[in-house]
Amino acid sequence: MSKSPESGRDINQFDDWIVHEFARTRGFTALVVLVSIGGLEVLPLRSTYMHVVGDELDWLAFNALVRGAGVKWDGVVFVPVADDHGGPVEDAKARAALRDLEKRIIEDRLVINEGHFFDRWGRRMKVEEAQAQ
């Protein structure tokens, strides 16, 4: 990948990424959007946010958390946000940021690439432009 190591985007597994992101920020709020992938479509299904205050969350634990969403999902995007001093943002700010992210993803699926996009197995992915043939 051509991304710089500081971005964390060179880390290809969720378990490594979350440790790196926590070390970089010392805590953050993750905006989370579950998506389905089919053909040339990436469709947002459910969204939430979570405050990350440690690096103990691994892919298996994350899967257990989102099992309650009640949808079959193929990928998930995480967009970390932090307050002005580092650390998680207040709930009201997280909700507003999540609504904005949802709207932007619906308008342009390439917005997903601004975050950290993983498949069902916790491997990094990227949305690319495609034309129907």
Q: Is the pLDDT of residue 40 over 50?
A: yes
Residue 50 belongs to a domain: yes
Residue 9 scores a pLDDT above 80: no
Q: Is residue 34 a part of any domain in this protein?
A: yes
Residues 6 or more apart in contact with residue 125 via CB below 8 angstroms: 75, 117, 118, 119
pLDDT of residue 43: 92
Q: Are 18 and 125 in contact (CB under 8 A)?
A: no
Q: What pTM did the predictor assign?
A: 0.87
Nearest to 84 by CA among 35, 123, 27: 27
Residue 125 neighbours by CB distance under 10 Å = 19
Would you place residue 69 in the very low, low, confident or very high pLDDT band (cuts 50, 70, 90)?
confident
* 46 found inside a domain: yes
Domain presence at residue 132: no
Does 97 reside within a domain?
A: yes
Q: Which of 26, 14, 21, 76 is nearest to 49 (CA)?
A: 76
Q: What pLDDT, in 10s, does the model give residues 106-132?
A: 999 999 999 999 999 999 999 988 766
Give the domain range for residue 59: 5-125
34-60 b/e with 16+ CB inside 10 Å = b?
A: bbeeeeeebebbebebbebeeeebebe
Number of domains in the chain: 1
Q: Report the residue count for the chain.
A: 133
Tokens of 51: 């405050």
Residue 54 lies in a domain: yes
Indicate whether 96 belongs to any domain: yes
Look at residue 133 and tell me if it is in a domain.
Answer: no
